Structure 1
Amino acid sequence: MSYSLLHQQLVDAPPELLVASSATMPRLDIAQLRHDCSRLIHQLQSHKAQEQYCLVCDQAWWLLVGLLSCQQLGKKVIIPSNIQSKAVAEHKQKWSIISDRSELADQTEVHYLSQQSESEVKPLKTWPFKSILASEAALCLYTSGSTGHPKPIDKSLAQLEIEAQQLELHFPQAKLATSVIGSVAHYHIYGLLFRLIWPMLSQRRFHNELILNLNNLDSLEQTILVSSPALLARLKQAANNSPCLLFSSGGPLSAAHAQQANQVFGCLPIEVYGSTETGGIAWRQQTQANSPWQLFNCVQASLNEQCLMVHSAYLPAEGYQTQDQAEFVNIKQFQLIGRCDRIVKLSEKRISLDQIERCVNSLPSIHKSVAIVLDQQQRIGLVVELSSSAEADYQQLGHHQFWRQLRHQLLGKIETVALPRQLRIVSQIPVNLQGKQDFSAIQELFTQ
């Protein structure tokens, strides 16, 4: 049984060790982490005890404080994937909330986190932090997967810490970095692992705030940049210098956008493939279109009915059966083909939504598309981004005529029963902060 390396830093790390940097908060070192955790623990103990707490934190620092404080008390931590105001109202019906949002400060069952001014700081007895078994430091993450409905995934710090250590071994270039910045949310597994846990274990400071624009970044020397396809697709101008490493995850990154990122930052993005359930499975750099995925050294995978079955150092012994269809190039490399759970039955026929999207995307007028089954209608809806060359045609033809032309082009490529029945044209297909398609927002396009 191993003790958590994160909690061990609360126990015996030097107080002056810098943990994070922030544009709005003073020095965020181990001493400050101990102070903020002690303050929250005393606050939690002054209220009715709960077995689990839900973290709704806009800033990475406060999520770290909430995570460690709850686990020091032996409590389970809930980290929801949706912290929009309507979702938070629902979370409050289920759990006691820990949050850094000022608008929640005075609400019942909310434990408010904030930076104290010098005049507000009161003498505080430092909590006697203890070593915590990593396997018993429990947390629950949520993933929307391909359905849009939140799904709880139980984890332990043991799994996340093992994966962080494997990342450090796998990417030796990281040793040149002293800091980590990111454009991905810290309450999803990718952001939590790459922006918080890995930097903490490797003693690199993480940037507290989320980077919302990758253009005009300050110096990237000795920095790891953690991003997503959504932001990398919107790059416009060259950076002043190159990061040590550039990561992308959360969704597919096109070869064109990978090369564009290479031109801007002077390095190809390292794409990471995985899920909340599995952690990291494989990685690649698109030196050419359709570069295969390479399994991480501690991961083994095989095919079970064409879908990847994964075993790794940070999964239970039984492994995990994915819904991702793949073809192996060799024992360590594979190509992703599609998903089994995107096969639907319409009029007794099995229809692949991925295949519909591939056919639509092959048309010169389409830049990107997503096909969905419209709720209870058993019909296919299609959301598309037009190619730049097609925008003028769309304006000239109008929606109805353009839609008729598009359906005609799809005849013979897609079975009649699978032809999309409704079309929505958007400037950008809705995605979340992770760069994944936001299926709830996509569904709403058809209710308007």
Structure 2
Amino acid sequence: MTEASLLGAPWRTASLDQPAGWRCDAPAASEAVTWRAFHERIGAWQVLLDTLATPGRRWLLHLKDPLEFAAALIACWERGDSVVLPADDRPDTLAGVDRITHARLGDVAKAHLATPRGASPRWGKLNAERLAVSLYTSGSTGDPQRLNKSFAQLDAELATHARLWPLEGRLVISQVSHQHIYGLLFAILRPLCEGAPMAMSLCRYPETLSDWLWRLDRTRRHSQDAPPGAVLISAPPPLERLPREIDWEAAPRVLKRVHSSGAALSWAASEHACELLGVAVSEIYGSSETGGIAWRIQQQGERWMPLAGVEVRDDCHGALWLRSPFLSSGDWQRQADRISLEGDGFRLLGRSDRILKVGGKRLSLTAMDRALGGHPGVVQARTVWLPERDTRLGAIVQLAPERLPHDHAARRDLIETLRRHLLAAFESTVVPRYWRFVDAWPTDTQGKLSGTVVRRLFRDLEDRRVPRWLGVERQDDDHCRMTLEVPERLRYVQGHFDRHPVVPGVVIVQWIVELAREHLGVSGVFQRLERVKFPTLLVPGERVTLSLALTHDARDTRLAFTARSPRGTHATGRVVFHAQEVNHVE
């Protein structure tokens, strides 16, 4: 514990005339909310809670404004209550949370605002082993799992943060939700425990951040009561998307530190944020279950350094084992991440389960698979991580035959329908961006949806010259049939009849040759084309079935092909290869 520990409840003895909150869009320091006013908010919340239930209850707390959230949280704790923090206030999320509360504090916020100010708060006692907060996170099965945090666990982590990154009275500006453990610790509890002011609203947009930094810079020059600077609590998505065209001149003068958590920043994103904001990003690696594990500043090295008191080791499989004062148990615990130990730190090598971070949000791919599978017409679905696409998700969806889209418009409408279906339970930032609709589940020769198959399904994202491959049905070594789509951004249709783009016939033939080599093992030398026809134009977004058949004689191997869609036949003919150069896969 430090002198300003959570268990010491330092908000009780804070200097009442100092700012607890700051209206960053206000023109002057007089718009600060003092600790005296914050105490009145705590007291008003307690008055309201007293009308709803006796002390010792659990409340479902969801409030978007940081200072109002902090007042409600402290009111509960000082009454002897605990709180449950849902990740968001979506109906599906709340439906999955245990019904253990008398009321949702988010629902009574308006009533609280009408409660007369001036109520004095009642101070209670915060026992180390007492339950402080429960959070929900995705489990390996996709079902929400409740995580209980005691005051002792929170206090240990806050003390570690304060020693490593002291706030020293700086304004805390947050771009992340305090309904999750990272935002709760860094944007709410740290300023409460260290006596630093917090911005009274979330900073959602880069334009807002720039404006706030400029206002704080001007206020500091004209008022001695202004915070000495600012600390930004952020995450990969907002840092990756900082626009260069915004004026960031004030940032280096005001920002002391930038924190990021939720996912690892790429080197390019770290450099981008450092260049614009004038301060290197301090990344924190951890999870809701474990709390903080390690930290790094990429400009000082790629390794992650364990936080004070945290021990890490690996096993023969490269799995991370952890022993931490932030956990309820002092035993070693195996984690889903794989690591490589290097000196006194380690490198992250990825996760070994179906839980990952997408856009800084923790997501169970199993839960999303289940949600997609529940939509009418969906036979089965699998969401996959596409690291080369800025960690965005892809979705492989097997549909009933009558549901398959055969053109661009139908595919676009289907994607929009599935997106709306997912938005009932997931945030828009984690909904898959890339979709592959199949009529048969794509597998390798071992009957598995392997990494090779997944890469083939999404290969057109990296190579805009190839078709969108949607699976192959092999009849024997010399015959196969596969489904293809023409990508809307196919390189070869650009400038090829601008008003009505089509796929050139020579491109179709090239695809057929390459696919025959890949799936039928053809490795001979191209000789000639025979009886080639293109009866119906092939257009972007169109879905076609390509049938390939090999025949052999003493001299040559002939590849017969037919490409059809519901609109008609798009290509027929034969490709001849020299027989001596043909090789068959056994």
Query: TM over 0.5, yes or no?
Result: yes
Query: Is the 2:78–2:122 contact (alpha carbons within 8 Å) kept by the matching residues of 1?
Result: no
State whether structure 2 residue 154 is matched by structure 1 residue 141. no
State whether structure 2 residue 345 is matched by structure 1 residue 340. no
Find the residue that maps to 1:143 and give its secondary structure.
strand
Instruction: Tell me what 2:326 maps to.
Output: 314
Separation (CA, whole Å) in 2 of partners of 1:123 and 1:187:
28
Query: Is the 2:309–2:325 contact (alpha carbons within 8 Å) kept by the matching residues of 1?
Result: yes
Find the residue that maps to 1:152 and give its secondary structure.
strand
State whether structure 2 residue 257 is matched by structure 1 residue 262. no
Q: In the alignment, residue 235 of structure 2 is paired with which amino acid?
A: S
Find the residue that maps to 2:179 and give its secondary structure.
coil
2:36 to 19, 31, 45: 31
Query: Is the 2:38–2:71 contact (alpha carbons within 8 Å) kept by the matching residues of 1?
Result: yes
Q: Compute the TM-score of the two structures, normalised by the length of structure 1.
A: 0.72
Per-residue CA deviation, residues 94-146 of structure 1 (Å, 9 max, x unaligned), is 5333434xxx4xxxxx5655445xxx73664x243133224315210122367
Give the 5 Å matches for 1:5-404.
Answer: 5=6, 8-22=9-23, 27-49=32-54, 51-88=57-94, 94-100=100-106, 104=107, 110=108, 112=110, 114-116=112-114, 121=116, 124=119, 126-144=120-138, 149-171=143-165, 174-175=167-168, 178-215=170-207, 216-219=210-213, 222-237=229-244, 239-240=248-249, 241-242=251-252, 243-287=255-299, 291-304=302-315, 305-316=317-328, 317-330=330-343, 332-342=344-354, 357=386, 361=388, 366=389, 368-370=391-393, 393-394=489-490
CA 1:15–1:367 in 2, change beyond 3 Å: closer, same or farther? closer
Query: Following TM superposition, by how much is the alpha carbon of 1:333 offset from its aligned partner in structure 2, in angstroms?
Result: 1.1
Separation (CA, whole Å) in 1 of partners of 2:121 and 2:84:
22
Separation (CA, whole Å) in 1 of partners of 2:153 and 2:459:
38
CA 1:375–1:23 in 2, change beyond 3 Å: closer, same or farther? farther
CA 1:265–1:198 in 2, change beyond 3 Å: closer, same or farther? same
Identity of aligned residues (%): 23
Query: Following TM superposition, by how much is the alpha carbon of 1:179 offset from its aligned partner in structure 2, in angstroms?
Result: 0.8
Query: Following TM superposition, by how much is the alpha carbon of 1:22 offset from its aligned partner in structure 2, in angstroms?
Result: 3.0
CA 1:367–1:277 in 2, change beyond 3 Å: closer, same or farther? closer
Query: Is the 1:367–1:384 contact (alpha carbons within 8 Å) kept by the matching residues of 2?
Result: no
Per-residue CA deviation, residues 276-296 of structure 1 (Å, 9 max, x unaligned), is 1111111112228x8121112
Query: Is the 1:311–1:319 contact (alpha carbons within 8 Å) kept by the matching residues of 2?
Result: yes
Query: Following TM superposition, by how much is the alpha carbon of 1:218 offset from its aligned partner in structure 2, in angstroms?
Result: 3.0
Per-residue CA deviation, residues 379-422 of structure 1 (Å, 9 max, x unaligned), is 66778996799998447659x999x98xx89x99xxxxxxxxxx
**Structure having greater relative contact order (Cα 8 Å, sep ≥ 6):** 1
Separation (CA, whole Å) in 2 of partners of 1:268 and 1:23:
23
Per-residue CA deviation, residues 15-59 of structure 1 (Å, 9 max, x unaligned), is 223211135896433222322222222222223447311001111
Query: Following TM superposition, by how much is the alpha carbon of 1:4 offset from its aligned partner in structure 2, in angstroms?
Result: 6.0
Q: In the alignment, residue 153 of structure 1 is paired with which amino acid?
A: L
Q: Compute the TM-score of the two structures, normalised by the length of structure 2.
A: 0.56
**Residue segments in structure 1 that go unaligned for 5+ positions in a row:** 105-109, 346-351, 413-423, 425-448
Per-residue CA deviation, residues 203-231 of structure 1 (Å, 9 max, x unaligned), is 11111211111243432761111111111
Query: Is the 2:320–2:335 contact (alpha carbons within 8 Å) kept by the matching residues of 1?
Result: yes
CA 1:292–1:142 in 2, change beyond 3 Å: closer, same or farther? same
Worse-matched range after superposition: 128-137 or 291-300: 128-137
Q: Bigger radius of gyration, 1 or 2?
A: 2
Q: In the alignment, residue 116 of structure 2 is paired with which amino acid?
A: V
Find the residue that maps to 1:135 and give its secondary structure.
coil
Query: Is the 1:55–1:79 contact (alpha carbons within 8 Å) kept by the matching residues of 2?
Result: yes
CA 1:207–1:265 in 2, change beyond 3 Å: closer, same or farther? same
Separation (CA, whole Å) in 1 of partners of 2:71 and 2:193:
15
Worse-matched range after superposition: 34-43 or 89-98: 89-98
Query: Is the 1:4–1:132 contact (alpha carbons within 8 Å) kept by the matching residues of 2?
Result: no
Separation (CA, whole Å) in 1 of partners of 2:187 and 2:69:
12
Separation (CA, whole Å) in 1 of partners of 2:266 and 2:313:
25
CA 1:209–1:34 in 2, change beyond 3 Å: closer, same or farther? same
Separation (CA, whole Å) in 1 of partners of 2:46 and 2:25:
23
Worse-matched range after superposition: 47-56 or 150-159: 47-56
Worse-matched range after superposition: 65-74 or 128-137: 128-137
Give the alignment's Cα RMSD to 1 decimal.
4.2
Instruction: Tell me what 1:349 maps to.
Output: none
Separation (CA, whole Å) in 2 of partners of 1:78 and 1:335:
34
Separation (CA, whole Å) in 2 of partners of 1:159 and 1:267:
30
CA 1:89–1:338 in 2, change beyond 3 Å: closer, same or farther? closer
Separation (CA, whole Å) in 1 of partners of 2:170 and 2:334:
36
Separation (CA, whole Å) in 2 of partners of 1:92 and 1:40:
23
Query: Is the 1:369–1:383 contact (alpha carbons within 8 Å) kept by the matching residues of 2?
Result: no
Find the residue that maps to 2:188 and give its secondary structure.
helix
**Residue segments in structure 2 that go unaligned for 5+ positions in a row:** 218-228, 356-364, 367-381, 400-439, 443-448, 466-486, 495-501, 519-540, 542-586
Instruction: Tell me what 1:438 maps to.
Output: none
Separation (CA, whole Å) in 2 of partners of 1:235 and 1:146:
33
CA 1:245–1:384 in 2, change beyond 3 Å: closer, same or farther? farther
Worse-matched range after superposition: 233-242 or 252-261: 233-242
CA 1:19–1:82 in 2, change beyond 3 Å: closer, same or farther? same
Query: Is the 2:398–2:441 contact (alpha carbons within 8 Å) kept by the matching residues of 1?
Result: yes
